[in-house]
Amino acid sequence: MDNNEDEDLSKKNLTIALAGNSNVGKSVVFNELTGSNQIIGNWPGKTIERAEGKLHFEGQDITVIDLPGIYSFSTFSMEEMVSREYMAFEKPDVVINVVDASVLERNLFFTLQLKEMDVPMVVCVNQVDIAKQKGIVIDTEKLQDMLGVPVVSTVAVRGEGLHELMEKTVELAQKKPQIKTMEYGAEVEKRIEKLRETIESENLDLGYPPRWVAIKLLENDPEIKELVESRSKKVSRSVYDMSQEIEEIHQEPVFAVIASERYSLANKIAFEAQIQSEVNITFSERLDRLFTHRVWGYVMAVAVLGGLLLWTFVVGDFFSGLLSNAFSFYQPVDPKVTGSMASILWNGAFGGIVAGVTLVIPFVIPFYLMLSAVENSGVLTRVAFMMDSAMHKIGLHGKAIIPMILGYGCNVPAIDSTRILETRRERLLASFAITFTPCAARTIVILGLVAVFVNIWWALALYVIDLMVIFVLGRIALKVVPGESTGLIMELSSFKVPSLTAMFKQTWSRTKSLIYLVFPLYIIGSAAIQALYAWGVLTPISNVLAPLTVGWLGLPLFAGILLIFGAVRKEFTLLMLVALVGTNFAAFLTPVQLIVLALVSLLFIPCISTIAILAREFGWKATGAISLANFASAMIIGGIAFRVLSLVF
């Protein structure tokens, strides 16, 4: 095969990366281009989600990578590190930079950084319809001339302009034109070029473009600085000298000077490319004022969070009831009585499937669907913004409220969704708080033990106690886990009607990953615990736990077995109690014991699925520490509650 044939074949397989700020419609562009041909996974060695899709366009087989939404190529977050390493080392054929037409200047700050990366680029000016409503029209030809790259306007939610976008992209990938350099102010530009020449003369092959390395060195990027210092003292000395010169001229730090240069250039380009027409206050803007109002904003935030939970539990309870009726033939049996493997498989394997279908799916799918609607409409960012100050009390910022709400449906997807947070510390703190959040299964235990056999007010009191525990332990964890809290940087995009296609695809993507993790663990874990119980292994363990369960918590001896079963699946606490004493719990447990058992089950070691995802995200050391904190808090608070309640009842 000759070289021409090799070249023709290579042109049939292109890799395109979508890059841009959050909430610019990048994911909508990705979904519209790739349809159902998507794979959702993790970046190698990272917990950041990677979305990859396939597209066949006019004879070209194209792989589309949806990079995380970021604002810069700094090292402040894992998303930024992932994106810049991908650009430098994977070298996509073309990068499509998606920008929001209504906030062009703000988005161009990142566009200029992409230009610094020296990558073939097409700018996709998205949401031009929303910009037009605000009285903004983008002159794409002018923008194209100033940036020196192809520019296409689109309305991705309606598919408008996407065909032209792909035509320009494929054309650029085949031609590989020379990339125009965007120059900054003379004092800064002169030193960038001088430093670039020094880097090239030293043959520093870091994988990144020399000009980009020069800019990052002047910005004092810690990773690039460390790489260069280990290889060239000459470059390091040059960086120091030039940084001092720039700081003396501008009387401020170099990183601030370069940021100002970018903003100045972005402002100039946006001013030239934007055509301003008559501005009318839109319904979206009125809604925005309501959601960010210093008083009504909190009311709306509480209404959204309450509505999300109400929707999840009402709809989830309805479908759970239907599915429970469909599986009404399933009744757990005591494997000690039958002593057969069939009963172990019936209780464990099939019981795991029933629990997954009747408890996880009905609550998780409605939650994810509504979460996608709230997220894509722009409502969720306002809620996060309003909740920011409250969340900072436990070392988190407003975005952490999103996974914590999800925890009320199921802790597993909630911990998985902490990936939206910027640092490992924030994800760890949020996940720790989530393990104390009463999921659907814990709610079943609380309602089944307390609401039915004591009263609804004591059941509600347990939720209040749980919130207090989350706050107190969150404050303690904030002091124990090393690191500093970060501020909230979030794009408040315009309100828009969410795309149903994007909602359904997002919901299925999230639900699918949950099903693949939860169902196998439910089935295997349930069967294993049932087998241990049938073979009499759990009874000695229950006897060992007696000083805690009987002596400290004031519960019956069999409570140890209930807690062990609850560590597999929280609702097993209730199901196993039925198998042991029947359905009239009040005949065997006092009101105090019912409340204490529900409280301990609420705070006790997370279920096996939650432990599995904690281990996947943070490793076994952190998982062990979180589980130990859960166990200790359950025992301490449960024992105190028993003594206090004994004075009340």
CA distances from 625 to 62, 240, 431, 617, 631 (A): 45, 44, 12, 14, 10
115 is an annotated ligand-binding site residue: no
What is residue 343's three-state secondary structure? helix
35 is an annotated ligand-binding site residue: yes
Instruction: Answer left, alpha or beta for residue 497, where phi above 0 means left and psi between -120 and 50 means alpha.
Output: beta
34 is an annotated ligand-binding site residue: yes
501 is an annotated ligand-binding site residue: no
47 is an annotated ligand-binding site residue: yes
113 is an annotated ligand-binding site residue: no
For each of the domains in the chain, give its residue range(s) and CATH number, in order of start: 3-175 (3.40.50.300), 186-276 (1.10.287.1770), 296-648 (no CATH)
**Residue among 144, 151, 146, 186 nearest 165 (CA):** 151
Please report the pLDDT score of residue 626 as a whole number.
95
609 is an annotated ligand-binding site residue: no
Please tell me the distance from the alpha carbon of residue 376 to that of residue 500, in angstroms, as a whole number. Answer: 10
The neighbour count for residue 424, using CB atoms within 10 Å, is 17
41 is an annotated ligand-binding site residue: no
Report whether 49 contacts 42 (CB < 8 A): yes
25 is an annotated ligand-binding site residue: yes
User: How many Cα atoms are found within 13 Å in the side-chain-facing hemisphere of 164?
Assistant: 14
Element at 610 (helix H, strand E): helix 608-618
Please report the pLDDT score of residue 95 as a whole number.
95
Phi, psi dihedrals of residue 81, rounded to the nearest 5°: -65, -45
Please tell me the distance from the alpha carbon of residue 514 to that of residue 537, in angstroms, as a whole number. Answer: 31
23 is an annotated ligand-binding site residue: yes
455 is an annotated ligand-binding site residue: no
Please report the pLDDT score of residue 70 as a whole number.
86
Report whether 202 contacts 84 (CB < 8 A): no
Please tell me the distance from the alpha carbon of residue 129 to that of residue 127, in angstroms, as a whole number. Answer: 5
505 is an annotated ligand-binding site residue: no
DSSP alpha helix (H) spans, 274-398: 283-291, 296-326, 335-338, 341-345, 351-355, 361-377, 379-391
**Residue among 132, 130, 131, 112 nearest 121 (CA):** 112
170 is an annotated ligand-binding site residue: no
24 is an annotated ligand-binding site residue: yes
Please report the pLDDT score of residue 44 as a whole number.
55
Question: What is the DSSP pairing of strand 136-138 with strand 151-153?
Answer: unpaired
398 is an annotated ligand-binding site residue: no
Q: Mean pLDDT for each consecutive 10-residue tract of the chain (649 residues)?
A: 44 85 87 71 60 83 89 77 87 94 92 92 92 87 94 88 92 84 88 89 83 89 85 85 88 89 92 77 74 81 77 73 72 57 65 66 76 79 74 71 77 81 84 89 82 85 90 87 60 72 79 69 69 77 89 92 84 74 81 95 90 91 95 95 92
187 is an annotated ligand-binding site residue: no
46 is an annotated ligand-binding site residue: yes
CA distances from 232 to 219, 315, 453, 467, 474 (A): 18, 63, 74, 54, 45
Please tell me the distance from the alpha carbon of residue 328 to that of residue 337, in angstroms, as a whole number. Answer: 22
**Residue among 30, 70, 73 nearest 212 (CA):** 73
Please report the pLDDT score of residue 512 as a whole number.
74
DSSP alpha helix (H) spans, 12-102: 26-34, 78-85
How far apart are the two ends of the chain, measured CA to CA in Å? 88
Radius of gyration of the CA atoms of the chain, in A: 29
595 is an annotated ligand-binding site residue: no
pTM: 0.56
The neighbour count for residue 468, using CB atoms within 10 Å, is 11
**Residue among 16, 101, 111 nearest 67 (CA):** 16
20 is an annotated ligand-binding site residue: yes
127 is an annotated ligand-binding site residue: yes
Please report the pLDDT score of residue 338 as a whole number.
53
Q: Using the 8-state DSSP alphabet, how is residue 182 labeled?
A: P
470 is an annotated ligand-binding site residue: no
DSSP alpha helix (H) spans, 127-253: 128-133, 140-147, 162-175, 186-201, 210-218, 222-229, 233-250
638 is an annotated ligand-binding site residue: no
38 is an annotated ligand-binding site residue: no
Phi, psi dihedrals of residue 203, rounded to the nearest 5°: 55, 45
Please tell me the distance from the alpha carbon of residue 32 to that of residue 435, in angstroms, as a whole number. Answer: 36
175 is an annotated ligand-binding site residue: no
Please tell me the distance from the alpha carbon of residue 428 to that of residue 164, in angstroms, as a whole number. Answer: 43
